[in-house]
């Protein structure tokens, strides 16, 4: 029997830590929160000082029972949820539920799941930090009050699904950006580029117009200042060209400037999410899911289960001294002493509400380079880990040394400028060579006119020949180019996260959930990787801004986050903070209930019965279209998950297995399926649409075929076509081999059972589907599979 019990949040983390601690420790998972506010009522006693009325989550009752039994038998209990407010609250809830003596319960935390970190945490337990717990309780109660009080009002007035303290501000930001986009008035401007070369050289270079008549030429999107000008018409562009058509192009100035390019800080949550979005095209939710697996531990062969990165929910760029020393030793050994800076780099942040409790996101062991452990990682894990490892190692390296040569070429009243930058010393860029303009940093900006604005005006990276002052150059070509200023870009998931962080809205742990919620609620939709408000989102936002403008407001939300931080620092009492918020909120809510008008969101569909327009409405099952003449006309049209009308039943060649009648393709809650054309009373057969593989079920007596299916959680597997009729239980996670296996067959050469095509980290292989058979071999490339 194990002497000690360690409780963590997730089963994968429990598995990794269990291997580290050994047989004296039993490691179990709470699988997230086990106790929370009730789902079907407010759950906050406002009159009793905002006391939360917690209850054990129904689906967690078996887990709680198991944890209680294990805790009663253990000599000591270590509570080890994540090292943040949410994790501290989970530890506190567990301590309350387990009802153990204080001397028996200990809180431990670690920033990485490595042997050294876990053993150090066990040796240095502490008490639960009630300040962190109070900050989490205040946030939970505050969110519940806003959500449960405003959401019913939205249901009645606009069929809106819900409101939230942070999510509604995010929707407001997206809606306000959409107003800017839709109301944008593009302005015309022109750039002029000259293609030049030395008199006897074939090598040419491009020099954009830099000055004209003593004024610097700028894009229409740039801020005008003294001695600047915009070429705002074709007429003016033609005038410039005409004025220099007979002029010599003479080198009037040559300069050379040395500079350094500094590495970016290691990742924090928001910059990792943005970089993964920019480089990998990942949604913020996917990035965090992959990072979670890297943090919780991956099997590395002989090394065993190892946490590969530090805790991934952080807004600090701080790095532990020991980690810096390990990184610098690795850099010196692999790249050379010159790639180590004179002194270790220290990164600090000036953003609002920064909490410095955790380190930046970094690899736990620098020697675990992406290539060294690639065989143990999935494709997604490898890509995300590679970003984290390279960014961190680069952040500890020397700056890149650059030399920029600039030539100014005069032609009458016009001055053209060309530049070329050469790398003298690669520095950190040998590891992490993202272009400076596109690398995500804390201060990165968005230039809506980058493709045809300032980039056009200031020159491009190119090769510049050796020129001499006063040298006359040959004009090969000169072209005017028309441009128009672009509207501000719509938010992407990455840029929305950036804005939320800059404005001090939410925490690193809430960014992904916020984006997911507003998309799931149909307030926002993804269009070409941008976030665009829906009709429902716009309508809900207008009502909230009109009646709750002071709450769904950036400064208010930022102030709330600051107060939560002050609760954590023991500078503000959380009950007092809630009382201060609730009194004016209650008055605002009362006025909204009296004054808020019902809003109808019209669709483009006409009612098939009466010809009136259909309106977008919501129910607990999702959105649908309802006639605006309701209750006189009760026509309803169901909508798909994509928001389009559900298609009518479609004929098929399939026959009903019960009555022999024709089957129809019908749309249901989970998509298309097959249904008997007869009424349910007469027959009612339903079955999924099967994707036939052409492979017979290996259990020959059942007569079925192997078909592609989906599990309840949407994961694809392969099973017998008689599986749903409970006639056969053949099921496989891997697709069956159709042909091209050993002896050009799809049968196992050892036992004759069906072969499957396995896609594995260590390489694809053909293997026997019979669990008792050991046959497996690497693929040859001849195999065909479903």
Q: How far apart are CA 281 and CA 275, in angstroms?
A: 9
C-beta atoms surrounding 508 within 10 Å: 24
Asked whether 306 and 364 are in contact (CB, 8 A), the reply is: yes
| Pair of tokens at residue 270 | 């928001």
- Strand 249-261 with 298-299, pairing: unpaired
Of residues 680, 214, 727, 270, the one with CA closest to residue 497: 270
The 3 state secondary structure assigned to 607-619 is: CCCCCCEEEEEEE
> Hey, which residues does 136 pair with through a beta bridge?
none
* 144-169 per-residue burial string, b: 16 or more CB within 10 A, e: under 16: bbbbbbbeebbeebbbbbbbbbbbbb
Of residues 158, 91, 170, 392, the one with CA closest to residue 265: 392
The 3 state secondary structure assigned to 540-565 is: HHHHHHHHHCCCCCHHHHHHHHHHHH
Side-chain half-sphere CA neighbours of 583 within 13 A = 6
How big is the CA angle at 170 (ends 169 and 172), to the nearest 5 degrees? 60
| Pair of tokens at residue 388 | 């984290």
* 311 belongs to the catalytic site: yes
What's the chain's Rg over C-alpha atoms? 32
Say if residue 32 is exposed, middle or buried (CB neighbours under 10 Å; 0-12, 13-18, 19+).
Answer: middle
DSSP string, 275-302: HIIIII---HHHHHHHHHHHHH-EE-GG
Q: How far apart are CA 298 and CA 113, in angstroms?
A: 10
Q: How far apart are CA 547 and CA 558, in angstroms?
A: 19
Among the listed residues 78, 210, 311, 335, the single catalytic one is: 311
Asked whether 416 and 217 are in contact (CB, 8 A), the reply is: no
Of residues 51, 135, 59, 125, the one with CA closest to residue 95: 125
Asked whether 506 and 514 are in contact (CB, 8 A), the reply is: yes
Asked whether 585 and 145 are in contact (CB, 8 A), the reply is: yes
| Pair of tokens at residue 751 | 């036992």
Which H helix or E strand runs over 695? strand 691-696
Of residues 335, 404, 322, 406, the one with CA closest to residue 364: 322
Just list the catalytic residues. Answer: 311
């Amino acid at each position: 029997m194990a002497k000690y019990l360690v409780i963590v949040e997730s089963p994968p983390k429990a598995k990794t830590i269990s291997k580290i601690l050994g047989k004296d420790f039993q490691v179990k998972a709470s699988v997230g929160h086990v106790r929370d506010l009730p789902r079907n009522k407010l759950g906050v006693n406002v009159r009793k000082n905002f006391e939360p009325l917690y209850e054990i989550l129904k689906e967690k009752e078996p887990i709680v029972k198991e944890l209680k039994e294990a805790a009663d038998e253990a000599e000591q209990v270590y509570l080890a949820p994540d090292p943040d407010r949410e994790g501290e609250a989970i530890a506190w809830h567990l301590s309350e539920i387990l009802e153990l003596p204080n001397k028996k319960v200990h809180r431990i935390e670690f920033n990485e799941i490595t042997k050294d970190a876990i053993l150090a945490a066990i040796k240095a337990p502490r008490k639960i930090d009630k300040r962190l717990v109070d900050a989490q309780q205040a946030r939970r109660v505050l969110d519940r009050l806003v959500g449960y009080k405003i959401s019913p009002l939205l249901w009645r007035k606009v069929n809106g699904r819900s409101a939230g303290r942070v999510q509604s501000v995010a929707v407001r930001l997206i809606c306000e950006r959409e107003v800017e986009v839709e109301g944008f008035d593009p302005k015309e401007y022109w750039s002029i580029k000259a293609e030049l070369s030395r008199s006897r050289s074939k090598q040419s270079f491009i020099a954009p117009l830099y000055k004209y008549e003593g004024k610097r030429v700028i894009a229409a999107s740039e801020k005008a200042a003294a001695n600047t000008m915009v070429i705002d018409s074709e007429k003016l562009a033609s005038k410039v060209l005409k004025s220099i058509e007979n002029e010599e192009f003479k080198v009037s100035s040559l300069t050379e400037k040395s500079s350094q390019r500094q590495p970016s800080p290691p990742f924090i949550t928001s910059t990792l999410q943005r970089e993964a979005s920019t480089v990998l095209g990942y949604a913020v939710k996917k990035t965090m899911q992959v990072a979670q697996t890297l943090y919780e531990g991956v099997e590395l062969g002989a090394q065993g289960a190892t946490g590969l990165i530090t805790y991934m929910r952080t807004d600090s760029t701080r790095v532990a001294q020991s980690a810096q020393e390990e990184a610098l030793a690795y850099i010196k050994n692999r790249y050379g002493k010159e790639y180590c800076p004179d002194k270790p780099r220290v990164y600090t942040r000036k953003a609002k509400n920064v909490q410095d409790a955790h380190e930046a996101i970094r690899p736990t062991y620098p020697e675990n380079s992406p290539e060294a452990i690639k065989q143990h990682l999935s494709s997604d894990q490898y890509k995300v880990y590679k970003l984290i490892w390279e960014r961190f190692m680069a952040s500890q390296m020397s700056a890149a040394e650059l030399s920029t040569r600039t030539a100014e070429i005069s032609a009458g009243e016009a001055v053209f400028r060309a530049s070329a930058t050469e790398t003298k010393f690669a520095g950190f860029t040998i590891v992490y060579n993202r272009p400076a303009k596109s690398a995500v940093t804390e201060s990165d900006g968005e230039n809506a006119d980058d493709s045809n604005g300032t980039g056009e005006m200031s020159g491009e990276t190119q090769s510049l020949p050796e020129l001499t002052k006063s040298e006359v150059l040959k004009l090969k070509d000169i072209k005017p180019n028309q441009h128009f200023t672009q509207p501000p870009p719509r938010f992407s998931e990455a840029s929305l996260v950036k804005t939320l962080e800059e404005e001090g809205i939410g925490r690193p742990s809430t960014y992904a959930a916020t984006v997911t919620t507003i998309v799931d609620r149909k307030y926002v939709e993804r269009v070409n990787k941008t976030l665009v408000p829906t009709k429902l989102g716009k309508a809900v936002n207008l009502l909230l801004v009109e009646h709750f403008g002071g709450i769904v407001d950036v400064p208010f939300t930022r102030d709330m986050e600051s107060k939560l931080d002050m609760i954590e620092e023991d500078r503000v009492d959380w009950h007092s903070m809630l009382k201060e918020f609730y009194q004016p909120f209650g008055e605002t809510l009362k006025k909204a209930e009296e004054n808020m008008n019902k809003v109808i969101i019209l669709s483009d569909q006409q009612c098939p019965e009466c010809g009136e327009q259909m309106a977008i409405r919501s129910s607990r099952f999702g959105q649908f279209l309802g006639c605006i003449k309701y209750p006189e006309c009760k026509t309803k049209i169901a909508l798909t998950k994509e928001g389009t009308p559900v298609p009518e039943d479609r004929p098929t060649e399939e026959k009903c297995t019960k009555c022999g009648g024709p089957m129809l393709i019908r749309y249901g809650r989970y998509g298309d399926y097959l249904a008997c054309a007869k009424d349910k009373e007469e027959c009612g057969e339903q079955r999924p649409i099967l994707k036939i593989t052409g492979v017979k079920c290996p259990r020959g007596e059942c007569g079925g075929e192997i078909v592609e299916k989906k599990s309840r959680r949407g994961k694809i597997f392969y099973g017998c076509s008689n599986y749903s009729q409970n006639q056969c239980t053949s099921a496989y996670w891997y697709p069956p081999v159709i042909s091209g296996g050993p002896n050009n067959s799809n049968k196992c050469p050892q036992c004759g059972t069906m072969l499957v095509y396995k896609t594995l980290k260590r390489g694809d292989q053909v293997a026997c589907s019979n669990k008792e058979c050991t046959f497996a071999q690497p693929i040859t490339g001849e195999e065909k599979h479903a």
